[in-house]
Amino acid sequence: MTCCIAISINNCSLAAADTRIGLEHDGTRTNHDGPHSLSVDVASLGRTLTLPYRYRKIRLISDGWAVCAGEFASATSILDLLKQHGAILFTQARGLLVGNEPLLRRVTSETGIAREQLLETVILGAPRGTATAGWTLSLRPGDGRTHRRVDGFSISWPHAVPQKDRTTAEAALRSTLQNSNSSTLPLEYAKAMGRVISVAARFAPDVGPFIQIGETVTAATQGSRSIYFEGLTDELLSLNEPDFKQRCEVAA
């Protein structure tokens, strides 16, 4: 299971995820991390699916970010649908996705994914705004994982990560978010999320070495701006401010 993060805090929206996808082929499992897209022949569909690398598990939606956890082919279809409708608020996303039988039929037909597996998909949303804007959403009606995040803070951890390590990593992340230097917010936020994903990668083989980060940050003098970063997690953690700015791009 992937490690992904979505946070609404200080009128900002933050998202991060590793890029690893697990693929089953001829009875064996292989991992694909990137940094390039991958085309896969799907016999059950009689065609080829392209698994993109850029924005693999995260999307800029309206003025916030969403990230997916679960089976990749179906989850990315759901992120694309949210982006198409600009559905970043909890009520918008829930109304669009939960109990949407035509959507379930279409995604299962397009991806070849079993309905039950699709229903295990979880989306984490971080609208730019107050902490109470954050949310977690399952496609399964009545699923307890569907709710607003009253603290705006959502992390999907792989099961292999021990609880004590999760707690320590989350406490460090919260501390960084609450005490960051306003002049270097994007880099500090990115490194804080990178350290969480680095912890997950130590324990979980499902978490790969590459990370993708989206941030919509509000500055008093510049308004809000959205940036996207991709690269190796270890490399991110060693970057200085000028190098980080050079590696980032305007998010799309």
What digits encode the pLDDT tens for the residues 181-191? Answer: 666 689 999 99
Map tokens 């912890």 to a residue. 199
Residue 38 lies in a domain: no
Give the number of other CB atoms < 10 A from CB of residue 98: 16
Q: What single DSSP character describes residue 150?
A: T
Residue 84 lies in a domain: yes
Residue 43 lies in a domain: no
Output phi, psi for 219, to 5 deg: -110, 145
Segment 6-21, tens digit of pLDDT: 999 878 999 999 999 8
- Total domains in the chain come to 1
pLDDT at 70: 79
Sign of CA dihedral 80, 86, 87, 89: positive
- Domain limits for position 224: 4-19+56-107+114-250
pLDDT at 26: 53
Sign of CA dihedral 52, 56, 62, 63: negative
Segment 122-174, tens digit of pLDDT: 999 999 877 678 899 988 888 888 888 878 889 999 999 999 999 999 999 99
Distance CA 230, CA 30 (A): 22
CATH code for the domain in which residue 102 is found: 3.60.20.10
The residues, ordered by sequence, that sit 6+ positions from 249 with a Cβ below 8 Å of its Cβ are 227, 228, 229
Mean pLDDT score, 16-33: 79
At residue 249, the 3 state secondary structure works out as strand
Residue 199 lies in a domain: yes
Map tokens 């292999």 to a residue. 160
Split at pLDDT 50, 70, 90, the class of 193 is very high
